[in-house]
Amino acid sequence: MTKALVCREHGLPDKLDLTADWQLPELGASDVLVRVHAAGLNFPDVLIIQGKYQMQPDLPFVPGGECAGVVEAVGSAVTRWKVGDEVINTAGAGSFSEASVANEHALMPKPKALSMVEAAGIGITYFTSYHALVQRAKLQAGETLLVLGAAGGVGSTAVELGKALGAKVIAAASSDEKLELCKQLGADEVINYSTEDLKTRLKELTGGRGVDVVYDPVGGDFSEVAIRSMAWKGRFLVVGFASGPIPKVPLNLTLLKGCEIVGVFWGRFVGEEPEAHQQNIATLWQWFEEGKIKPVVTDIFPIEEYQAGYAAMMERRAKGKVIFTFDS
């Protein structure tokens, strides 16, 4: 038995049950038992407990798509890991627990340069953003990248990675406080779309040319504005819909702009193109070790305060990653 945050019925976070007697699945031959030190909260964790995510586990289940911890036991056929190894688990669910069981291939070595708290939140955000910018947008040095929701979990990594890839980065967010974080991450220009007109500012900042790539994890009203502000042959990355509404975009804009609307689904990419994913890991891990990129963790909650953590994300107050900790 282990302490875990359990979803027994679909609903908001107040429906979750923090229990001390969650029964872990039996350790299979290819499975690894990980003692969890910290786990990252992502927007899919908000959707999955409400039954709104595209992939839904059967009830009851433990949410949490990523965590960092130490290998505590291994199955008889496991060859990649040994007891005591520090790892990251991106299995997709089960991370909001003091211990989790995952197939050995769902684990990655924790970058040595990062703490457990920092490492717990890098899997989904950095992998999504790197895949989006490199494989999907084919972002080139010198191009202009607009990041919407730029202070959030994935948005902040897009700002950081865009700069690492040599782009000019325009960060857009809903408050000056959030934009200060974006500046610290290297954003060249910032736009507060709560107080400034996004289209007007983008026209000013690009000299009327428009942006080459839009990274949009937000959706809602600003998506169409961003597409209207794209340069010729621009690429619009559909990353998520954190604002709630899925935008309906006039397709004639793609004709007028000669632009592409490109979907980003990192989870499927991992299965469809495993070799490319492994290369992405190698590059990102090297950048972590070199200090070229570093996770931003601003909201840390013990698992007992899970409702406050969920509220920080759902009310869009979080800057960078929201992390739950399990260390006593």
Q: Which of 247, 233, 265, 228 is nearest to 136 (CA)?
A: 265
Task: Please check the confidence at residue 318 and state whether its pLDDT lies above 90.
Answer: no
What pLDDT does 60 receive?
A: 94
Indicate the range of 97-106, 114-123, 301-310, 316-325 predicted with least confidence: 316-325
The CA distance from 80 to 108, in Å, is 10
162 vs 91, more confident: 162
Indicate the range of 155-164, 214-223, 255-264, 310-319 predicted with least confidence: 310-319
Provide the pLDDT confidence category of residue 240 given band limits of 50, 70 and 90: confident
DSSP classification of residue 320:
B
Classify domain 124-267 by CATH number. 3.40.50.720
Which residue ranges does the chain devote to CATH 3.40.50.720? 124-267
Interval 175-203: pLDDT, tens: 999 999 999 999 999 999 999 999 999 99
Interval 139-154: pLDDT, tens: 999 999 999 999 988 9
Provide the pLDDT confidence category of residue 281 given band limits of 50, 70 and 90: very high
Q: Which of 235, 53, 42 is nearest to 126 (CA)?
A: 42
Which residue ranges does the chain devote to CATH 3.90.180.10? 2-122+296-325
Long-range residue pairs from 89-93, CB within 8 A, at least 24 positions apart, any chain: 89/34, 89/36, 90/65, 90/66, 90/123, 90/124, 90/127, 91/65, 92/55, 92/65, 92/267, 93/48, 93/57, 93/61, 93/62, 93/63, 93/64, 93/65
Task: Please check the confidence at residue 328 and state whether its pLDDT lies above 60.
Answer: no
Q: How far is CA 41 from the centre of its chain?
A: 9
Task: Please check the confidence at residue 267 and state whether its pLDDT lies above 80.
Answer: yes
The CA distance from 198 to 227, in Å, is 11
Mean pLDDT value of segment 67-88: 96
Mean pLDDT value of segment 206-229: 94
- Tokens read off for 56: 């839904």
What pLDDT does 69 receive?
A: 96
What pLDDT does 287 receive?
A: 96
What pLDDT does 142 receive?
A: 97
Fold (CATH) for 2-122+296-325: Quinone Oxidoreductase; Chain A, domain 1 (3.90.180)
Q: Whole-prediction pTM value?
A: 0.89
What pLDDT does 1 receive?
A: 81
